[in-house]
Amino acid sequence: MDFQTDDTNCEDFEVPSQILNDTIPTKQTDENQSSIAVNNEENNQKEVAHLDNETTEDGIVEANKNKKRKKKKKKKKVQDGEKSAQTSTKKPIIPSIDMRTYEEEIEYLEKVNAFKYRVNKGFVPNMSVCAEVLVNQPLEDLLLTELKESCICCQEKEINKGVDKDSSTQHKPKPKSKPKNGGFIPALKQMANVAALPGIVRCLAMPDVHSGYGFCIGNVAAFDMDDEDAIVSPGGIGFDINCGVRLIRTNLSEDDVSDEETRERLCQALFDHIPVGVGTEGVISIDDDDLDEILEKGIDWAIKKNYAWVEDKEFCEENGCMETADQQKVSKKAKQRGLHQIGTLGGGNHYAEVQVVDAIYDEKAAKCMGVDKIGQVCIMIHTGSRGLGHQVATDALQKMDKAMYRDGIIPNDRQLSCARINSKEGQNFIKAMSAAANYAWVNRSCITYLVRRAFEKVFEKSAEEMDMHLVYDVCHNVAKIEKHTVDGIEKTLLVHRKGSTRAFPPNHPLIPKPYQSIGQPALIGGTMGTCSYILVGTDNGMVETFGSTCHGAGRALSRNASRKKLDHRKVMEYLKEKNISIRVASPKLVTEEAPESYKDVSEVVDTCHDAGISRKAVKLRPIAVIKG
């Protein structure tokens, strides 16, 4: 297995080098300052000596005077350093534990039942609570293999370090295999590190869990808003803020798109209408004032500009707008990145897919959502806040590094950069994150507008005639302030969901009125060539997972591993055999997004269903897909 920090929804971007390479800002101890002063002085003396060799005879006297002056400065700096060392603050050290074998690691893992593992305290330092992960047997094997290979990798690195230190060794033994985790931490460790953050109430992971940036993908982490030490962390949301999925239904049937010519025309029309790929610019033009309104008003802007139907608003999570948004907290650079990307799909695992209803598990829920006929044509859109959201997260991480040192927050992993919720940095991030979430809802709304136009062109009917109504739009990368009951007490929590979908139970006030009797729909995207699902929330899920469920399949191979292992031509042949039309901007994505690169989405969904945190309603099968 090859590990990576996919963040599931941020494939458009590389993690900024300054974030990966910087260390947590720390004040130097006086001991270090003295050492630096000595080293700098030695360098200065070398420079003077070098100049002396090139000076004239008249300059030698002056050079010698300089040497004496510099020696005095050196002595004074060392004395000052010794004097201040008594009152200095020591450099914060990130906690660490001795390297353990895989057998020692799994001693901390407890199998609670057929679908749940508990990660007990002590697995990593400073855990305030245990962590829990939902997996069935096949997914359990993948999760534990990730941990095992990480242990092997760490052991090999330690062996190599020892060999490097032994200068007398002539022949260095080669490790049995190359390190595979690229320096990233396995998901179980990442969960446990989150469970050590200040103010944590519970830490969970969904069955599609895999390693990510700071938090693992599939993580749900709730922090107590009444705890003054509780934090908010960009890593608990992801770089693609409000990456999410929406589903549009139609009254078309599979018979309407069964012939290859029609299917290819439709696929090409979607590809022509929707800008795809990394760095693409949209066909929908906006100015600075439009952008500010988008950031604060969300879908209301799209409705006003006729890019969305009025009824679309009701069927968006949060009604397509987070009221905590403040466009003034979004940086100029972030706005520049977002100005020309409204109505664009992006790259990576983002897609627009034409699907047909393949199976119905809950007739009541299917009828309520209007997707109750086998073979009914639907469209699924998966994308987020593009470059704007990525920049919002990047900006926050840089500011929070400094805030952590100021407030004495020392996480187990520096990728868990965070700030106290009620701090200036914490509040500013929540407001900027909310604005980026609003941008994402408008982005998906504008893509919906383009999808409707493409269908009108191919079928020569209006979108209204084809009943192209929005079934639902739900995000899976966001943090929200919610009320939940914990140990019999109602608490106000900041719930981070990264690669996990909110799925509230029936009769919850925050879901659309038409869906009150069935629960909140959760749209679960599959992989390119595999099925997707509609789930609905349950009462048990509200208790067990803060009303959360999975978001997709979850990667099993990194993108690099996929490119090395798979042949894009064979993947294309596989799709053709299944009568799936495809348009892709970059050929490498064909292998990166192949079904073999992911876990089995049906196993993931079945685990959520069997564990009772959500309920299967509808299964959808792809017939055409466009990707960046």
User: Was 84 annotated as part of a binding site?
Assistant: no
User: Was 551 annotated as part of a binding site?
Assistant: yes
Q: Which one-letter DSSP state was computed for residue 24?
A: -
Give the Cα separation of 45 and 620 in Å (integer).
74
Kind plus residue range of the DSSP H or E element containing 354:
strand 351-360
Helices (H) and strands (E) in the chain, counts: 18, 19
377 SS3 class: strand
User: Was 349 annotated as part of a binding site?
Assistant: yes
User: Was 347 annotated as part of a binding site?
Assistant: no
| Strand pairing report for 351-360 and 376-383 | antiparallel
Cα separations (Å) of 105 from 120, 150, 216, 320? 11, 11, 18, 43
Give the Cα separation of 563 and 450 in Å (integer).
31
User: Was 382 annotated as part of a binding site?
Assistant: yes
Residue 139 one-letter amino acid: L
Q: Considering the candidates 50, 551, 568, 609, report the single residue annotated as catalytic.
A: 551
Among this protein's residues, is 551 annotated catalytic?
A: yes
From the list 407, 453, 73, 391, the residue with the least C-alpha distance to 234 is: 391
User: Was 476 annotated as part of a binding site?
Assistant: yes
* Exposed e or buried b per residue across 10-20, where buried means at least 16 C-beta atoms within 10 angstroms of its C-beta: bbbbebbeebe
User: Was 50 annotated as part of a binding site?
Assistant: no
User: Was 240 annotated as part of a binding site?
Assistant: yes
What's the alpha-carbon Rg for the chain, to the nearest Å? 27
User: Was 547 annotated as part of a binding site?
Assistant: no
- Would you state the structure tokens that stand for residue 79, as one six-digit string? 């004395």
User: Was 528 annotated as part of a binding site?
Assistant: yes
Residue 44 one-letter amino acid: N
User: Was 553 annotated as part of a binding site?
Assistant: yes
Give the Cα separation of 517 and 197 in Å (integer).
37
Kind plus residue range of the DSSP H or E element containing 621:
strand 614-627
* Exposed e or buried b per residue across 227-252, where buried means at least 16 C-beta atoms within 10 angstroms of its C-beta: bebbbbbbbbbbbbbbbbbbbbbbeb
User: Was 435 annotated as part of a binding site?
Assistant: no
User: Was 526 annotated as part of a binding site?
Assistant: yes
User: Was 338 annotated as part of a binding site?
Assistant: no
User: Was 352 annotated as part of a binding site?
Assistant: yes
User: Was 165 annotated as part of a binding site?
Assistant: no
Residue 209 one-letter amino acid: V
Can you say whether the dihedral through the CA atoms of 481, 485, 491, 495 is positive or negative? negative
Contact in structure between 545 and 496 (CB atoms under 8 Å): no
Residue 586 one-letter amino acid: S
Give the Cα separation of 433 and 536 in Å (integer).
26
Give the Cα separation of 521 and 78 in Å (integer).
66
User: Was 586 annotated as part of a binding site?
Assistant: no
Binding-site annotation: residue ranges for Mn(2+): 240, 243, 350, 382, 476
Binding-site annotation: residue ranges for GMP: 349-353, 476-477, 525-528, 532, 551-554, 627
Active site residues: 551
Binding-site annotation: residue ranges: 240, 243, 349-353, 382, 476-477, 525-528, 532, 551-554, 627
